[in-house]
A and B are shown apart, each in its own frame.
Chain A
Amino acid sequence: MTRQITQLGAFALEQLAYLGRMGLFLIHSVRGIARPPGKFGPVVKQIQFIGTRSFVIIGFTAAFSGMVLALQGYYTLSKFGSEGLVGSAVALSLIRELGPVLSALMVTGRAGSAMCAEIGIMRIEEQIDAIECMAIDPKAYLVTPRLLAGLIALPLLTAYCNVVGIFGGYLVGVELLGVSAGSFFDGMETSVVWEDVRMGIVKSFVFALLMIWICTYKGYYTGVDRGSFGAEEVSRATTSAVVLASISILVSDYVVTSIML
């Protein structure tokens, strides 16, 4: 019995220490904004990596999500004779919910995993140690630019995702199923209000913060806890980063929605 309590206590302390280290990691990364090196060049480079290179994949995802939303919306709404509201249904679903979530999940899969693997390789190849030994703050050098770039790129990608998704919905709703373009856009204009857009923007910032925080943290501490610095540690870190970031995005989606509704 005593042994079980001891083990439970040790586990709880371990988790507490883990959370504390994660919290400090974020604080140090934010503090890195005011520390050398300069951030402009690295942030632009990361925006290109996180943002520009995610354009195609998010475009595809958004277009087909908008299309399927229109198809499902049309099928459901036609039961009540309200096919004209399909535009509102597509726009509201995308702006409030699917746009931020899909963009964040896609960016996690594409850029978050790569970010974690890149930093993880730097850890196992002693490059992070080398940065420290050059009297450079490794978090300011590696994490801060990615954090800033994520906070800039993801909300923009979300807006782009919404626009492409609505266009996909238009193609199916108006061009394929014959809903009039007037009622498609008119319904959208009256039903989408600033609060909906605001919710989408807040979510995209929250998701960007979580995704970059988790992916860079997992990469930064690759192999440190296990004391082993082999290639398999990088794959382990990347997998757990993507899983944890995706779950955090979905959980925080519910939390933000419930707070803002």
Chain B
Amino acid sequence: MLTPSIIEIRGLDSYYRGRRVLDGIRFEIPGNQVTVIMGVSGCGKTTLLRHLVGLKPTERGRVFVDGEDLGGFGEQKLQAYRSRIGVLFQSGALFNSLTVAENIGVPLKVHTRLPEETIRIMALIKLNMVGLAKFGDFMPSQLSGGMRKRAGLARALAMDPEILFVDEPSSGLDPITAAGLDRLIVELRETLGMTIVVVTHELESAFHIADQIVVMDEGRVIAAGAPEEIRAADDPRVRQFLSRETDLRPPDLDDYLSIILARNR
């Protein structure tokens, strides 16, 4: 059963250089659950994530966090919201000039007055959660792609966020490492009761971790519901996505031309 919504999206549109990339997005993100936003590359899921974490300005009245309008947040409120969230970026986004442990210590150093030694211990605890306790003194460049992502996750967890946003956790990883990250996400939800929003195009991973799945296509939500409801959906685009069929639709020449012309303008 789904718990009350923590984030509500009500008709969110988004534009990039005059082109509509999100079209009337509408769904709810329940608390203490894993919501997976799924869709093919370029369907607007990362743009949606950027709206949800406040990296892209949101029009008033479109996204509500605990009933409060995200678009109307001033600087202070946005900072307060951001201190409640953790974000794992696709590349891990670790700072190259700092060691892995120092990376995890950054938010603790800025937002708390804890002594250096305590911050280091806390960073190592977080690293231990993601299985990287022995790599605290390594530089990010010395880690593999999967390890960098796990270290990025440890940093996203540093301030014990209520809501965790994860962008493409499995992309570029081997199946075993990807499965490890999936297990970690499920564990975080089960042990800490965290609300988790995952953006991915990996079907297997999505069905494995999700309590709720939102399927997007060309900037629109085409299906939303529990994994079994998505599996049973009869929308042809959802079926096509789930059965990994190639796109057989003829290209829309008008659309294609307008894209080319817009780029050259």
| Contact pick for A130, options B79, B93, B96, B109, CB 8 Å | B93
Specify the chain B residue showing the minimal Cβ separation from A130: B93
Chain A CB within 8 A of B178 CB? no
Chain B CB within 8 A of A126 CB? yes
Specify the chain B residue showing the minimal Cβ separation from A140: B110
Pick the interface stretch among B84-92, B195-203, B212-220: B84-92
A126 touching B110, Cβ below 8 Å: no
Within 8 A of B (CB), among A14-56: 36-37
* Residue from A36, A127, A130, A136 whose CB has the most chain B CB atoms within 10 Å: A130
Specify the chain A residue showing the minimal Cβ separation from B90: A126
CB neighbours (8 Å) of A127 from chain B are 93-95
Q: Mark B59-84, 1 if CB is under 8 A from A, else 0.
A: 00000000000000000000110110
A130 to B95, CA, bound (A): 9
Chain B CB within 8 A of A132 CB? yes
A136 touching B93, Cβ below 8 Å: no
| Contact pick for B106, options A118, A126, A136, A227, CB 8 Å | A136
CB neighbours (8 Å) of A121 from chain B are 96
Chain B CB within 8 A of A189 CB? no
Chain A CB within 8 A of B53 CB? yes
A133 touching B96, Cβ below 8 Å: no
Chain A CB within 8 A of B134 CB? no
B82 touching A133, Cβ below 8 Å: yes
Chain A CB within 8 A of B227 CB? no
CB neighbours (8 Å) of B256 from chain A are none
A134 touching B91, Cβ below 8 Å: no
A37 touching B82, Cβ below 8 Å: no
**A134 with B95, Cβ < 8 A, contacts A126-B90, A129-B89, A227-B16 known:** no
Chain B CB within 8 A of A234 CB? no
A227 to B155, CA, bound (A): 27
B85 touching A37, Cβ below 8 Å: no
Chain A CB within 8 A of B17 CB? yes
A129 to B87, CA, bound (A): 10
Q: Mark B151-175, 1 if CB is under 8 A from A, else 0.
A: 0100100010000000000000000
Residues of A within 8 A of B (CB): 36-37, 118, 121-122, 125-127, 129-130, 132-136, 141, 227
Q: List 30 A-B contacts (CB under 8 A).
A: A36-B110, A37-B109, A122-B95, A125-B91, A126-B90, A126-B91, A126-B93, A127-B95, A129-B87, A129-B89, A130-B87, A130-B89, A130-B152, A130-B155, A132-B54, A132-B55, A133-B54, A133-B86, A134-B82, A134-B106, A135-B79, A135-B82, A135-B83, A135-B107, A135-B111, A136-B106, A136-B107, A136-B110, A141-B110, A227-B16
Additional pairs, 11, CB under 8 Å, beyond known A129-B87, A135-B83, A135-B111: A126-B93, A127-B93, A129-B93, A130-B87, A132-B54, A132-B82, A133-B85, A135-B80, A135-B82, A135-B107, A141-B110
